[in-house]
Amino acid sequence: MKLSIPIILSILSIVNAIPLTNRDTNDKEKKTILLSNDDGWAALNIRAAYRELTNAGYQVILSAPASQRSGWSGRFVIPNSKTLSEDGEFSYVKKGDPSWGHESDNNTNIWYFDGTPASSVAFGLNYVIPKYFNDTKVDLVVNGPNEGTNLSNGMYTVSGTIGATYNSVYRGIPSVAFSGSNGNNSFFGDFVGQENDDKLAANILANKVVEFVNTLFKNSSSSESLLPITTGINVNFPNVGYDDESCTDPKWVFTRLSGSDSSTSNLKYDEDSGLFKSANGDFDALTKCVFGDCNLKSEASVLANNNCESTVSVFSIDYDASQNQSSQVKSSLSGLF
Ligand X SMILES: *[C@@H]1O[C@H](CO)[C@@H](O)[C@H](O)[C@H]1NC(C)=O
Write down the least CB distance from residue 323 to ligand X, Å: 8
Of the listed pieces 91-99, 154-162, 228-236, 283-291, which binds ligand X according to CB under 6 A?
Answer: 154-162
Indicate if 85 belongs to the active site.
no
Write down the least CB distance from residue 115 to ligand X, Å: 15
Other Cβ atoms closer than 10 A to 252: 14
Contacting residue, 149, 167, 258, 262, with ligand X by CB under 6 A = 149
- Binding flags for ligand X, 158-177, as an x/- string (CB under 6 A): xxxx----------------
What are the DSSP E strand ranges found in 50-207?
A: 59-65, 100-103, 107-113, 140-147, 175-180
Interstrand relation of 100-103 and 107-113 (parallel, antiparallel or unpaired): antiparallel
- How far CA 216 is from CA of 53, 142, 221, in Å, comes to 13, 12, 10
Of the listed pieces 54-62, 76-84, 143-151, 266-274, which binds ligand X according to CB under 6 A?
Answer: 143-151
Interstrand relation of 309-316 and 231-236 (parallel, antiparallel or unpaired): antiparallel
Dihedral sign of CA atoms 117, 121, 126, 132 in order: positive
Write down the least CB distance from residue 13 to ligand X, Å: 25
Kindly name the residue from 36, 179, 262, 301 that is annotated as catalytic.
Answer: 179
User: Is 129 one of the binding residues for ligand X (CB under 6 A)?
Assistant: no
Would you say 134 or 295 has its CB closer to ligand X? 134
- How far CA 114 is from CA of 86, 101, 118, 166, 170, in Å, comes to 10, 9, 11, 20, 22
Q: Which amino acid is at 121?
A: V
User: Is 184 one of the binding residues for ligand X (CB under 6 A)?
Assistant: yes
- Site for ligand X, rule CB under 6 A: 38, 70-71, 105-106, 134, 148-151, 155, 158-161, 184-187, 190, 218-219, 324
Residues with catalytic annotation? 179
